[in-house]
Structure 1
Amino acid sequence: MKFFRSPQATPYLLLLPAIIVILAVVLVPLIVSFWTSFTSYNLVRPDSLYNFVGLRNYRRLIGNDDFWWAFGRTVVFITIALNLEMLLGLGLALLVNRITWGQRTLRTIMMFPMMFSPILVGFQFKYLFNDSVGLVNNALFALNLIDKPIPWLVNGWLANFSIIVAEMWMSTSIFAILLMAGLLAMPKEPIEAAKVDGCNALQVFRHITLPFLMPFIWIAMTIRSLDVARAYDMVKIMTNGGPAGRTELIWTLMTRTGYQNSQMGMANAMGYISILLSIAFTIMFYRNLSKARVFMGGAQ
């Protein structure tokens, strides 16, 4: 009791309401969902919540081709989307950084795509890529580049391409803004010294600018990998996992299994296997971040 009355206890007492809320809305559901991944829990049979089946759900997933196709598709989706967003964001940041007049206005405009809901962006690009009334096909027809509509959201490869384009439009600005912060924080003396030594623009970028930006790039990669891995809204709106499951990601498959097929135990097992994917990407990015900081002379 003396501890709770002492000044040292004040921070803990102030944090107590937040800790209680976190336990109620985060930890308890996590424990329940983890338990159900070892049961045959079915939404239409509530009593199945207590039917413990051990690792049966996980064994079934290991032998489930649909799950592994969705898992592999998610890895490819994350890899392509992150790298393209990083390259475009880096180019945009370098371009805006060279502009002296109106730079603040451009930085503000770059944030606009981030303000839209993923659901709204999904509807927007679903209309743009519609094969009959979409603006993309109409523009290609007007330029005489095609003579028949392109099935953007019907063909499997084109549907995945369309989703990646929508994801890039909404999220490239995150990379651009974070890398702009890195460019603004970069000291000018090394660049000026390199120019005096006769280095051209490409050499300055490769040996000075890019190494300095690498910690910012890996931080942005870490943040975005967690968001891209949960790209449910856009896929649900644009293709709903179709055609024939060609755009099905882990999270859309998990939702379909849990809420449409009512196999909540199996869906939660998918979720916990999927967490391993997020952990793997996060560990990889943090290791690269540590290497970049060591290269720049920072602390690990």
Structure 2
Amino acid sequence: MAETHTVQPGDRAIAYLTLTPSAAVLLLLVAVPTITVIGISLQDVGFGEMSGPWIGLENFAWALTSRTFWTALKNTFVWVFGSVSLEMMLGLGLALLLNRTFALRGVARAIILAPYLIPTVVAVLVWRYMFHDIVGILNYMLMSVGLISKPMVWLASTSTAMLSVIIVGVWKFFPFVVIALLGILQSIPQEQYEAAEIDGASAFQQFWRITLPHILPVFLLTALLRTIWTFHKFEIIYLLTGGGPLDSTTTLPILVYIKGFADFELGRAAAIALITFFILVVLLAVYFGFMKRAEARQ
């Protein structure tokens, strides 16, 4: 019989003393900046200032009635949905492929993971040259196979700028999805697939009945993490387009930067940042609600 251990008051005191330093650091790193941003959002604060006239919720009212804000919000959802959905589909397909046994599988894994290891600034600058309308290799390749008749201005056109930044984002971060899903795929017992083959199950039936139930929790968690990280991703869009042309790629993080460091309106920038935070909290609540329902059905 397993021996049970009763928690003594001294044990609790030691646990609290052990956790106190971490809790204090977490409080300094999270709570203090958050409270500061909330305070700034309720004031008319300019650049280089830490306080200003108290204006209440006027910054939030401006954001919710501003055409610029709603354009940025729409662009943010397009950027996030486009990037994350493509990352998840591409990552799942490549993870299933890399989970199979074939020659030079280790080399293939290293090549696929390479984009995730390259510094973002370096990757974006390389892609800027690739998108260049005159010397870019992308236009050259598309014209060589006859898909386009003249060079496209990828980053300076409102019709292709968002597509361009989504392509770069997917290329840079889909390896994270591959890593996450490949780990859980390798933990699935092979005996289940062997039994399914004996029963005459097709490849799709094996995926639907065996693979998908095993990887679904990790798949959803990975999608949630990528959604959160992509939602406040700044450097890719800023380095590629700066939010242009004509605000066609201005997302909420870009708008926060513009308001805070170009227009010197830190109060409005803080308000936009808090609204972004509230949107992410809602997404988290939806995710955890979905997970609780899924666990209740099992």
| TM-score normalised by length of structure 1 | 0.89
Gaps of 5+ in 2: 1-9
CA 1:179–1:290 in 2, change beyond 3 Å: closer, same or farther?
farther
What one-letter code is carried by the residue in structure 2 that aligns with 1:125?
W
Determine the C-alpha separation between the residues in 2 that align with 1:177 and 1:263. Answer: 41
State the match for 1:34 in structure 2: 38
Write the deviation string for residues 262-283 of structure 1: whole angstroms up to 9, x where unpaired. Answer: 1000100001111122122223
1:215–1:293 Cα contact (<8 Å) kept: no
Gaps of 5+ in 1: 1-5
- 1:25 aligned residue (19, 22, 29): 29
Write the deviation string for residues 105-164 of structure 1: whole angstroms up to 9, x where unpaired. Answer: 433433322122222222121111111211101222333443321111111231111101
Shift of 1:229: 0.6
Shift of 1:98: 1.4
Shift of 1:76: 1.9
Write the deviation string for residues 69-103 of structure 1: whole angstroms up to 9, x where unpaired. Answer: 11111112111211111110110011111124443
Instruction: Please tell me the root mean square deviation across aligned C-alpha atoms, in Å.
Output: 2.1
State the match for 1:150 in structure 2: 152
Give the aligned length.
Answer: 290
Determine the C-alpha separation between the residues in 2 that align with 1:150 and 1:69. Answer: 25
What one-letter code is carried by the residue in structure 2 that aligns with 1:198?
G
Note the 1:95-110 alignment, pairs <5 A: 95-110=97-112
Write the deviation string for residues 28-47 of structure 1: whole angstroms up to 9, x where unpaired. Answer: 11111111111111115x37
3-state SS of paired residue (2:159): helix
Percent identity of equivalent pairs: 29
State the match for 1:202 in structure 2: 204
Residue 226 (str. 1) matches residue 228 (str. 2):
yes
CA 1:101–1:210 in 2, change beyond 3 Å: closer, same or farther?
same
CA 1:294–1:176 in 2, change beyond 3 Å: closer, same or farther?
farther
State the match for 1:136 in structure 2: 138
3-state SS of paired residue (1:271): helix
Shift of 1:287: 3.3
What one-letter code is carried by the residue in structure 2 that aligns with 1:16?
T
Shift of 1:195: 2.0
Note the 1:155-194 alignment, pairs <5 A: 155-194=157-196
Runs of 4+ in structure 1 over 6 Å off? none
